[in-house]
Amino acid sequence: MVRAAVLPAVNAPLVVTDIDLPDPGPGQVRVRLAAAGVCHSDLSLSNGTLRQPAPAVLGHEGAGTVVAVGEGVDHVAAGDPVVLNWAPACGTCHFCGLGEPWLCSDANTAASAPYATLTADGSPLYPGLGTAVFAEETVVAARAVLPLPAGVPLTDAALLGCAVLTGYGAVHHAAAVREGESVAVYGVGGVGLAVLQAARIAGAGPIVAVDVAPGKEELARAAGATDFVVAGDDTAKRVRALTGGHGADVAIECVGRADTIRTAWSGTRRGGRTTVVGIGGQDQKVTFSALELFYFGRTLSGCVYGNCDPAQDLPVLAAHVREGRFDLSGMVTDRIGLDGIPAAFEAMTAGRGGRALVVF
């Protein structure tokens, strides 16, 4: 029996209660969580923007220690520190065969099957994005568990599971930012802060951070922003002014709103690249004219999980952390318990803060 924050139904308040976890079966691992990040995707799952069977235990950005392993698991053992991977690639589907594991057809199948039960009445529970880290412990598929490289604090390592891999990959893989290129980052939440740090590591400049909240300027500059713009009607114009009058070589949108995507596009130079990381709803429609698509010659692309292969990218990120180039703890604005998750959701909805971290 462990404590967990349970979503009883879509749009219902979270309830902190006891759940019962099974022993890990063949090909499974049980993990005791050290920390779990509160991501905007969790909010989207809770309010129905993204589909998730309920009742469920949400949370997909986590790190902890292996408690037990099932038959056939040999890459981790009890006592090992690990990071959870919410989109583990199968290695055999069409997209994995193309070398694009971030698009794996089977990455999210675990989310559609019950994994635990409510202690009170035995009701089946579903794991949010297959990982269910808003709980003291979880049971996941072995391929969803990545050994944590040495030298990275276990609590802060939770951020590696989503925000950091996504932000780092958006810069280094999806947008392929080159040294000396200008970058505009729209949205200074957890992922946006990771994007800013990754852009700095890539040698980009200037790096312009854009957000609706003026209070995020200090966070943004600490992460690597050289300039900060409070979003408004003239955002694209101001970004162009800060990037030689032409617009940013690369714009990375971390919000997932149609108006923000459109603004990011408009603030990108001719021939530049606009990469969309934010996850928006189906009602968010972005429109472009055929003439501007021709004239500006910009590239607009999506980005899933940073277009990362976590098994390959995690050691690289760990090296950046160990050598002081990437600051995980500086991304955390609030350290909370399970009962603090609803307030963290409210803060995200209002556009406040960076990353809230549930610490067990």
Token digits for 199?
Answer: 């852009």
Predicted local confidence at residue 352, as pLDDT = 74
Q: What angle do helix axes 40-47 and 341-349 make, rounded to 10 degrees?
A: 90
- Asked if residue 320 belongs to a domain, the reply is no
Total count of domains within the chain: 2
pLDDT along the chain (360 residues), means of 10: 94 94 96 95 88 93 97 96 95 95 92 92 94 97 95 95 96 97 96 97 97 94 97 96 97 95 97 95 91 95 95 94 94 94 88 85
Round to whole Å and give the CA distance between 135 and 19. 9
Residue 342, preceding peptide bond in cis (omega within 30° of 0): no
Predicted local confidence at residue 355, as pLDDT = 87
User: 286: Cβ–Cβ under 8 A, 6 or more apart, which residues?
Assistant: 258, 261, 262, 265
> Do 13 and 131 lie in a common domain?
yes
> Do 156 and 185 lie in a common domain?
no
**What is the CATH number for 125?**
3.90.180.10
- Asked if residue 172 belongs to a domain, the reply is yes
Phi and psi torsions of 329, nearest 5°: -65, -30
Residue-range definition of the domain harbouring residue 272: 164-304
Predicted local confidence at residue 226, as pLDDT = 98
Token digits for 87?
Answer: 């989109």
**What is the CATH number for 272?**
3.40.50.720
Residue with tokens 């779990």: 36
Answer for the pair 25, 360: CB distance below 8 angstroms, yes or no. Answer: no
Answer for the pair 304, 162: CB distance below 8 angstroms, yes or no. Answer: no
Burial code (b: 16+ CB inside 10 Å, e: under 16) for 312-337 equals ebbeebbebbeeeebbbeebbbbeee
Over its C-alpha atoms, the chain yields an Rg (Å, rounded) of: 20
Predicted local confidence at residue 8, as pLDDT = 94
- Asked if residue 313 belongs to a domain, the reply is no
Round to whole Å and give the CA distance between 172 and 49. 28
